[in-house]
Amino acid sequence: MTNNCQSPIWKIRTIKNYPEAHNHILVGKVLETTDSYVRLHCRTYHFCRVINGPEDIQIGSLMVRVVPWSRIEIINELPATFDYARSTLISDKSGEVLFQDERHVCPVGSGSPYEVKY
């Protein structure tokens, strides 16, 4: 179980069952980790292979979600001060969409074309 004074903020990409499936990203505060799952207070982001702008991403409600480790493909730790609950999506050029809060800017993917467009 996570017992830090300040819980980490994670960006998790889940495993896709097939290449054409939508990407699923969860961004939020880690509430708990066990041998079986990660529990997060987060938002979800769903998008397909090609992203032309923020309008191509469906944003889920802010809520607690439980993700089995077996469904997690990659985890990126964001700054502990990243305001995932109030962040917005912006686009600074075609195909590159970023999370933005008052202090930070972070790519929706890892920043590489593979993670963003796969």
Reference 89, options 102, 115, 108; nearest CA is 108
pLDDT tens track for 27-60: 999 999 999 999 999 998 887 766 667 777 788 8
The answer to the question of residue 42 being in a domain is: yes
**Distance in angstroms (rounded) separating the CA atoms of residues 103 and 91:** 16
The answer to the question of residue 3 being in a domain is: no
The answer to the question of residue 2 being in a domain is: no
The answer to the question of residue 81 being in a domain is: yes
User: Coil, strand, or helix at residue 115?
Assistant: helix
The answer to the question of residue 93 being in a domain is: yes
Q: In the structure, what pLDDT confidence band is assigned to residue 93 with cuts at 50, 70 and 90?
A: low
The answer to the question of residue 80 being in a domain is: yes
Q: How many domains does the chain have?
A: 1
Range of the domain at 18: 9-117
- Whether this prediction's pTM lies above 0.85 is answered by no
pLDDT of residue 117: 34
Q: Which of 14-28, 50-64, 94-108 has the lowest mean pLDDT?
A: 94-108
